[in-house]
Structure 1
């Protein structure tokens, strides 16, 4: 049997949720192009789509928004725990631990019936934003801000994180960013969630595993690396020389290239427009200029090899403008991707929830003798 390194090209299930055409640079949620959702939809509506497989009617959407809004508040016990978490902890470690603790606080944790999973999923989707915002406030030496039920998911997240109600433009920026990150097929964290849930563990455990997977710099942490790259370059004037030096050493350009896409990542195209808006409106032109020069210079060598900007390339500039520091970029990713994780778990359970148990090609020796300790030298 041939070994599929990194499980590349291996089909282990069927799904209607997400289709990625890597050669043409296209992404669809339940058949709807991502560009249309990012331009016309909201995070709540897109989440309904991911959980139900269709867009909601007006009254369904209003009811769904209310369902999420009333679930935003955290248990007092959990907030007390937050104050005992080390302030030096990475926000993804904070989120991972908080999700695990939420499970312990749920007396119905072990119930994995379809309806129970759906209700717990709504709870986690609503609370992820509250957890991340509370962590940001505590890191700044401030008290967490209780959620508001009269704001959208994106606006409430920004309000809890920054202490002021966002402008309509800021709300729209966050909404679009969350939609773009909500789902992306069987990436590492989604596969991890499915692998864990296939054992019939509880939802909190499966999502905790997904958060742990997303924390890795080769997955969710890549957008942090892009902003570090911008800081290392420093000025637009230095960008071309920096890229040439990196490429001459055959080093990676962060935010360029994707395992699936051999064309421009469609999410990066939307985020580039948002980053341009941020640069033109709010004066963050230096970061944007550096990224455009890096994209152009690196593209001369990388584009012919099918390597283009991915979703992480421009997202950091948008998050920075919305008031978030570097270490909160990946948690924002999680605030969005929780919808995709829950949607895939619901779908996989309905299919058959077959236990995932891959194999490995054995390349070691057989029938080796046991050498007594005293004879091993």
Structure 2
């Protein structure tokens, strides 16, 4: 081991000794770890009119778990999907709703689509000079770098007026698919030695269609594929002000920072495996299961594997069945329910019925296995990440693009929350931390 590595090990141990706190101290000072209490209730840090999550209802004065619901500007997300599914692509329509508070009529929707289409362009040579330079296998890092660099091309970068911020947000919503896909193709070419494909987006296509067209070498996709991806984008677009990346958006916005810095911070939050990277862990877990369970129809064998995961004896040994449970939802995640509705259709079209049956078995079985081992205060069910990774794999989307696709959707929610924060608050978010350090007398150098 190199000398520097030995030093780092020693220094890391010093950090553990200096910073380690007894878990009981959090209870003693009534500090909610992760800003959530033991019953899963979040600490209220603000007000929002953008979205709402329902996971409980009050029955005879008692807080009771209920089927989950997600509302966009007062509209049930499931009803929104039903409204456009099979008739038109919904990403642009849902984006209009979240940004402006109302469902668009046909004329408003056309104008909004045309505006996004006109903004699907990058500065001259940006793809070559920024995206293709130092490509990374971590497309989220590539995307963040591109966003920060775009600030250099904006003469009004630091103007935080609502009009200017809205302009910046609409531009970013428009170019996010290009930044992500071009980042992937650059990595795939320079690091995987594959052919380079840089397809320009079409003004005639929706966001979902352009994503698939730009990603695939032959630009081809089916109507079902584009429709499924479109619904996935709508379901990932917004999820209340308390999720980590959206809260990050509001915190950094409150400091007076520019839009590019705010969105870069949100991207950095989203890329974490506990947030936007969770669906990758689901896919990797399922791949590991398929290696270690020979008969996918043997429920006893699958159950034993799940128990091994919980006992930290299988997969990544973290003791987590990924895709199960949610910080807020209790009985069900409505996004997962919508996903499952069209996952079966896509699985049939792709010849993946056996995989779908395995996912369905685990969705039913995992809550039972978890309940046997742990105290469940609000119920455990499949969350949106459980099926989204499976959907993306059936759409032949590379693993490196899973979280960037999440970002392509969530940039809309971040934009809405940034604008809402600017309009209403004008006060920096600065929560308090209780200091538990022990005061000490200074020790001169020759006495240490």
Q: CA offset at residue 286 of structure 1?
A: 3.6
- Secondary structure, counterpart of 2:125 in structure 1: helix
Aligned residue number for residue 83 of structure 2: 40
Contact 2:131 2:183 in 1 (8 A): no
Instruction: Say whether residues 1:171 and 2:171 are aligned partners.
Output: no
Instruction: Say whether residues 1:15 and 2:78 are aligned partners.
Output: no
Q: CA offset at residue 248 of structure 1?
A: 4.2
Query: How far apart in 1 are the matches of 2:442 and 2:118?
Result: 63
Q: CA offset at residue 31 of structure 1?
A: 1.2
- Cα 1:84–1:161, aligned 2, differ >3 Å: closer, same or farther? closer
Equivalent of 2:205, from 151, 174, 180?
151
Query: How far apart in 2 are the matches of 1:339 and 1:93?
Result: 19
Give the stretch that moved more between structures: 215-224 or 299-308: 299-308
Aligned residue number for residue 250 of structure 2: 194
Query: How far apart in 2 are the matches of 1:286 and 1:107?
Result: 54
Aligned length: 375
Query: How far apart in 2 are the matches of 1:166 and 1:279?
Result: 16
Query: How far apart in 2 are the matches of 1:82 and 1:239?
Result: 46
Aligned residue number for residue 138 of structure 1: 186
Query: How far apart in 2 are the matches of 1:115 and 1:83?
Result: 28
- Secondary structure, counterpart of 1:136 in structure 2: helix
Query: How far apart in 2 are the matches of 1:257 and 1:55?
Result: 31
Instruction: Say whether residues 1:254 and 2:305 are aligned partners.
Output: no
Query: How far apart in 2 are the matches of 1:182 and 1:232?
Result: 30
Tell me the C-alpha RMSD between the 2 structures: 1.7
1:99-141 Cα offsets, whole Å, 9 max, x none, are: 1111122111111111001111100001101111212322332
Query: How far apart in 2 are the matches of 1:332 and 1:231?
Result: 21
Instruction: Say whether residues 1:76 and 2:124 are aligned partners.
Output: yes
Equivalent of 2:289, from 217, 233, 257?
233
4+ residue stretches of structure 1 with deviation over 4 A?
none
Q: CA offset at residue 170 of structure 1?
A: 1.2
**TM-score, normalised on structure 1?**
0.95
* Structure 1 residues not aligned, in runs of 5+: none
Aligned residue number for residue 99 of structure 1: 147
- Cα 1:262–1:83, aligned 2, differ >3 Å: closer, same or farther? closer
1:265-307 Cα offsets, whole Å, 9 max, x none, are: 1001111122212211111234322222222221213368211
**TM-score, normalised on structure 2?**
0.81
Equivalent of 2:332, from 248, 264, 270?
264
- Secondary structure, counterpart of 1:21 in structure 2: strand
Give the stretch that moved more between structures: 188-197 or 278-287: 278-287
1:7-27 Cα offsets, whole Å, 9 max, x none, are: 222222211111101232111
Query: How far apart in 2 are the matches of 1:136 and 1:147?
Result: 15
Aligned residue number for residue 2 of structure 1: 30
Q: CA offset at residue 349 of structure 1?
A: 1.0
Query: How far apart in 2 are the matches of 1:288 and 1:327?
Result: 22
Aligned residue number for residue 111 of structure 1: 159
Instruction: Say whether residues 1:314 and 2:387 are aligned partners.
Output: yes
Equivalent of 1:219, from 275, 278, 283?
275
Equivalent of 2:413, from 336, 340, 364?
340
Q: CA offset at residue 154 of structure 1?
A: 1.0
Aligned residue number for residue 70 of structure 2: 27
Aligned residue number for residue 160 of structure 1: 214
- Secondary structure, counterpart of 1:140 in structure 2: helix
Instruction: Say whether residues 1:374 and 2:446 are aligned partners.
Output: yes
- Cα 1:66–1:374, aligned 2, differ >3 Å: closer, same or farther? same
Query: How far apart in 2 are the matches of 1:192 and 1:126?
Result: 22
Contact 1:230 1:290 in 2 (8 A): no
Q: CA offset at residue 5 of structure 1?
A: 1.5
Instruction: Say whether residues 1:245 and 2:245 are aligned partners.
Output: no
Equivalent of 2:111, from 49, 63, 66?
63
Q: CA offset at residue 156 of structure 1?
A: 1.0
Aligned residue number for residue 98 of structure 2: 50
- Cα 1:85–1:294, aligned 2, differ >3 Å: closer, same or farther? farther
Give the stretch that moved more between structures: 162-171 or 124-133: 162-171
Contact 2:51 2:73 in 1 (8 A): yes
